[in-house]
Amino acid sequence: MDLQHWLGRATHAIQDWADTFGPYQPHPALQVDDGRFATAFEDFTARLRDNYPFFHPHYAGQMLKPPHPAAVVGYLTAMLINPNNHALDGGPATARMEREAVAQLAAMFGYDTHLGHLTTSGTIANLEALFVARELHPGRGVAYSADAHYTHGRMCRVLGMEGHAVPTDDRGRMDLDALEDLLRSGRVGTVVLTAGTTGLGVVDPIHEALILKERYGVRFHVDAAYGGFFTLLAGAEGPEGLAPEPWRAIARCDSVVVDPHKHGLQPYGCGAVLFRDPEVGRFYLHDSPYTYFTSTDLHLGEISLECSRAGASAAALWLTFRLLPPTADGLGRVLAAGRRAALNWAQLITTSDHLELYQQPELDIVSYFPVVDPATLSGIDRASARILTDGMTSPDPVFLSTLRADSEAFAARHPKVTTDADGARILRSVLMKPESEHHVEHLHQQVERLAGQRPPLAR
């Protein structure tokens, strides 16, 4: 795609539409001449240079990458109108686009029926899911794994619910025996299972947990904000294929959250929450004396805790899905490249003299640490911090991130490492750009070189 061409077409298309309503004179209070704007724009673009190169395959740090050009064009085109998807009065076209795009997400997870909408983030999406959970099970708490996103504990406090962190096994998955012990107490009404933890990309055993859902009559919510689109690789052939069982089990859970602004190629912020039972919409019921007046159809604001939401986000997602739908042959090919990259890098690390794999990647997050002598947590922590900094300042830079692993988790995976501290930073790389597949060897060589450079002894 020629982005500059299509952005030009976008302004012309919106101007052609605007011209059908007749001419008018913009108010002089809004006028800014090109000279003044040029000065401000120069300062603005100079400030933007203080960013990491999220677009580049040598950036292998956090879950950040630019949106697809189709999403950029869709967002900016709709933004020129600036619809508000709270009500059909504020965005009739983009509200329809939102419903269509959300229906595609529901089909991706195997929901036969659904109620859902886009949100500004996974945090808000999870808040909505837990809000509904509270209304269905008043007075009962929420269980989530100790490695789940901190959103859940924080949102429980916001909602006045008791939160319970469930221990994890030596792979970072929720311990189902510990979960059942908690469920026997009767204090829990909802269990949050994670399909892709943001630290290590671990998928909880959702399919195995379903028996507890029936046994104890609890509600199951799946936080798939980061990993949800990997369901497109469930049962796929080739090295990128994932075991289908946990992903297919999502269809039997009560709600699910996914963030299109991660693997859905969208700009921030675009999250989504989906409920399997449309009847939960009754918990959102409210009235507004100045909206919802143009149509008797359901307005998206009637099933959302948020009010104003950018119709441009829905437009961007709808246009992207027209070109790269959430199917195995569409977005699935994008995710497959990142997963293959993670598996390839993990294999390179296993043969390295300077790096050691923390644990085998499940999705597209690679976790590893520098080999130090003696093998201690404190030594690993210092070396990881040095590599992170040296990598960014190298003439041929590589951008990583770190993850703090506590001593118990580290010992479970690497018992030969001396636990002389309560934890250590390890290195972590998210390979969510498909271009990473062609750059992992270079990334590995750079990190291995940095790991092999020993710092001078302290005097």
pLDDT by residue (tens digit) across 73-114?
999 999 999 999 887 788 999 999 999 999 999 999 999 999
Nearest to 277, CA basis, from 259, 298, 303: 303
Assess whether pLDDT exceeds 50 at residue 21.
yes
Look at residue 456 in the predicted model and tell me its pLDDT: 44
The arithmetic mean of pLDDT across residues 360-365, rounded, is 98
pLDDT by residue (tens digit) across 313-332?
999 999 999 999 999 999 99
Query: Distance between CA atoms of 27 and 135, rounded to whole angstroms?
Result: 48
Assess whether pLDDT exceeds 60 at residue 17.
yes
Q: Kindly list the distances between the CA atom of residue 86 and the CA atoms of 83, 91, 291, in Å, as whole numbers in the listed order.
A: 9, 8, 9
pTM across the whole model: 0.94
* pLDDT interval class at 303 (50, 70, 90): confident
Domains and CATH numbers, the chain: 74-323 (3.40.640.10), 331-452 (3.90.1150.170)
Assess whether pLDDT exceeds 60 at residue 369.
yes
Q: What are phi and psi of 414, to 5 degrees?
A: -135, 75
The arithmetic mean of pLDDT across residues 416-430, rounded, is 97
Query: Distance between CA atoms of 266 and 155, rounded to whole angstroms?
Result: 25
Contact predicate 174/202, CB 8 Å = no
Look at residue 285 in the predicted model and tell me its pLDDT: 74
| Residues of the chain above pLDDT 70, percent | 95
Assess whether pLDDT exceeds 60 at residue 292.
no
Look at residue 287 in the predicted model and tell me its pLDDT: 59
Axis crossing angle, helix 122-136 with helix 151-159, rounded to the nearest 10: 50
Q: 10 Å Cβ neighbour count for 107?
A: 14
Assess whether pLDDT exceeds 80 at residue 10.
yes
DSSP string, 174-206: B-HHHHHHHHTTT-EEEEEEEBS-TTT--B--H
Assess whether pLDDT exceeds 80 at residue 289.
no
